[in-house]
A and B are shown apart, each in its own frame.
Chain A
């Protein structure tokens, strides 16, 4: 199970790396252990800064030689207000924020473009599970998620936050799909409209 999850994460990170122009200045919000940042630095020659709230994950990033800032970005991106980023990345983090819409709004103030991925709560399997009484849980830990976001929810969220969706890709466990119903994860490239 874990290796499938790892593989999918890898596929998703590869996709984000494909979308990322070489040499971009990137802010990875909720960077975790820094897998994506590492990939982007290696394959895309980006200058990246990770933001992570957990001091243990910050320690892991530093041990890997990644640039990381310990901060709660849900309280704002004040530390970065004088920097401009080519891309903001919010990978599988949005559903864990207290207020996804507010988060989306304020991260789009720190950069013109963003790449956001969500675990799709609208996957067929999750819909069936819900029908039988259990909501989708966080992968790996099995904990309750702050929010259940489907691809449809996310697109509405973007419209409300005045963010344009430039590109979208749906990922299954192994590859891509054009059906949201089969998407475990959805990855979006976003742009500010105003």
Chain B
């Protein structure tokens, strides 16, 4: 990679020295979070930005892996020297969420009480649990307050949760292609994905780790469905049209989806997918305030940047506008951009120039 940004990066691990209480009531004696950092923490320890990943994301957000120079982080265009999350100025921290399958404690980890993998017995996680786990890491890194907490999609919801739960530890919150809660339709898509996994004969009620194979076909179909909803109609049309592959004669889109589904099912844990989508469905900070989002947001102290994409139909601008409206009503400092980028929900991962300019400008001025 000629412009690999931050260059080779090694994943680090933080293990808590005390027990972790899940908001669902579950408890683990200790948890581990896999994380990466880019840039340097300054002496005042006040230039840290926390990145929250989306549903299928992980800690490897930028640079390449030490052991694999082809494996570029999922937000590499966003993070690096002179990039929007400018590592010349900021110290960027990226974690794998609790319950994940990329090194953080999750269903595929060994339960020390049984010496077996947790599987379906892993405690139910919420976005609030992810925040609490990250708080432990922040304490460990001696970061009192983040210059910004940034995330797209479910990661944006996590950034919102941070801003509300820890007003004094978040100076800026950047919420991209997010929402304050999912719509019925969005939950419905998640349920189809879950059913696809759970109805796979290899699922074995989540106890598949010692089986011949995991429920990879169910997971692959779940991923394919996700992919379709993350792209816009136009973008798909442009990218694949009605072209067919020369070798097999199938449509390019079929080939693409099968490839994406298979690739994903080989690198992701089905139980984690179930856990994460349920956390996403359940998130609703207003529910503790009789549905009053304005009240729910009132503790926040951060300067907000909300971004949506007009071509995104999974987390459409209307959802971001609800959040913006509530922030304005709560007299929070809110900024909002509704961008023309055509990539659909996945536009948050792409490098539309105006999108990057806005994130960069916002962080340079406010973080």
**How many whole Å from A121's CB to the nearest CB in chain B?**
32
Q: Is B236 an interface residue (CB 8 A)?
A: no
Do A56 and B354 form a contact, CB below 8 Å, given A62-B305, A62-B337?
A: yes
Q: Is A64 an interface residue (CB 8 A)?
A: yes
- Give the nearest-CB partner of B326 in chain A: A82
B window 295-349: CB within 8 A of A: 305, 321, 324-325, 328-329, 331, 333-340
**How many whole Å from A5's CB to the nearest CB in chain B?**
26
CB-contact partner of B358 in A58, A65, A78, under 8 A:
A58
A window 64-103: CB within 8 A of B: 64-65, 67-71, 78-83
Q: Does A59 lie within 8 Å of B334, measured CB to CB?
A: no
Question: Which segment, of B218-226, B265-273, B359-367, faces chain A?
Answer: B359-367
A residues in contact with B340, CB < 8 Å: 55
B residues in contact with A55, CB < 8 Å: 337-340, 354
A80 to B327 CA separation, bound complex (whole angstroms): 10
Q: Does B333 lie within 8 Å of A64, measured CB to CB?
A: no
B residues in contact with A69, CB < 8 Å: 324, 328, 334-336
Q: Is A49 an interface residue (CB 8 A)?
A: yes
A residues in contact with B253, CB < 8 Å: none
A residues in contact with B336, CB < 8 Å: 68-71, 79
Q: Is B357 an interface residue (CB 8 A)?
A: yes
A residues in contact with B286, CB < 8 Å: none
Q: Is B294 an interface residue (CB 8 A)?
A: yes
A residues in contact with B339, CB < 8 Å: 55
A residues in contact with B362, CB < 8 Å: 62
Q: Does B334 lie within 8 Å of A65, measured CB to CB?
A: no
* 5 A/B residue pairs, CB under 8 Å, sorted by A: A55-B340, A56-B354, A59-B337, A67-B333, A69-B328
A159 to B333 CA separation, bound complex (whole angstroms): 35
Do A83 and B335 form a contact, CB below 8 Å, given A58-B358, A59-B357?
A: no
**How many whole Å from B67's CB to the nearest CB in chain A?**
38
Q: Does A62 lie within 8 Å of B325, measured CB to CB?
A: no
**How many whole Å from A37's CB to the nearest CB in chain B?**
12
CB-contact partner of B365 in A58, A64, A70, A83, under 8 A:
A64
Q: How many residues of B contact A (CB 8 A)?
A: 24
B residues in contact with A62, CB < 8 Å: 305, 335, 337, 358, 361-362, 365
B residues in contact with A59, CB < 8 Å: 337, 354, 357-358, 361
Q: How would you classify the secondary structure of chain A's contact residues: helix, strand, loop or mixed?
A: mixed
**How many whole Å from A188's CB to the nearest CB in chain B?**
26
Q: Does B328 lie within 8 Å of A80, measured CB to CB?
A: yes
- Give the nearest-CB partner of A78 in chain B: B325
Contact with B along A127-142 (1 / 0, CB 8 A): 0000000000000000
Q: Does B328 lie within 8 Å of A49, measured CB to CB?
A: yes
B residues in contact with A83, CB < 8 Å: 328-329, 331
**How many whole Å from A50's CB to the nearest CB in chain B?**
9
Q: Does B335 lie within 8 Å of A68, measured CB to CB?
A: yes
B residues in contact with A79, CB < 8 Å: 321, 324-325, 328, 336
Q: Does A67 lie within 8 Å of B334, measured CB to CB?
A: yes
A63 to B305 CA separation, bound complex (whole angstroms): 12
The 8 closest A-B CB pairs, nearest first, are A82-B329, A63-B361, A65-B365, A69-B336, A62-B361, A59-B357, A79-B325, A70-B337
A60 to B362 CA separation, bound complex (whole angstroms): 10
> Apart from A65-B365, A70-B337, what are 16 other A-B pairs with CB-CB below 8 Å?
A55-B338, A55-B339, A55-B340, A62-B335, A62-B365, A63-B357, A63-B365, A67-B333, A69-B336, A71-B338, A79-B321, A79-B324, A79-B336, A82-B294, A82-B325, A83-B328
**How many whole Å from B294's CB to the nearest CB in chain A?**
7
A49 to B340 CA separation, bound complex (whole angstroms): 22
B residues in contact with A78, CB < 8 Å: 325
B residues in contact with A68, CB < 8 Å: 335-336
**How many whole Å from A58's CB to the nearest CB in chain B?**
5
Q: Does B337 lie within 8 Å of A67, measured CB to CB?
A: no
Q: Does A67 lie within 8 Å of B335, measured CB to CB?
A: yes
A69 to B329 CA separation, bound complex (whole angstroms): 13
Q: Does B366 lie within 8 Å of A65, measured CB to CB?
A: yes
A61 to B325 CA separation, bound complex (whole angstroms): 19
Do A82 and B328 form a contact, CB below 8 Å, given A56-B354, A59-B358?
A: yes
A58 to B340 CA separation, bound complex (whole angstroms): 13
- Give the nearest-CB partner of B325 in chain A: A79
B residues in contact with A67, CB < 8 Å: 333-335
**How many whole Å from A70's CB to the nearest CB in chain B?**
5
B window 21-76: CB within 8 A of A: none
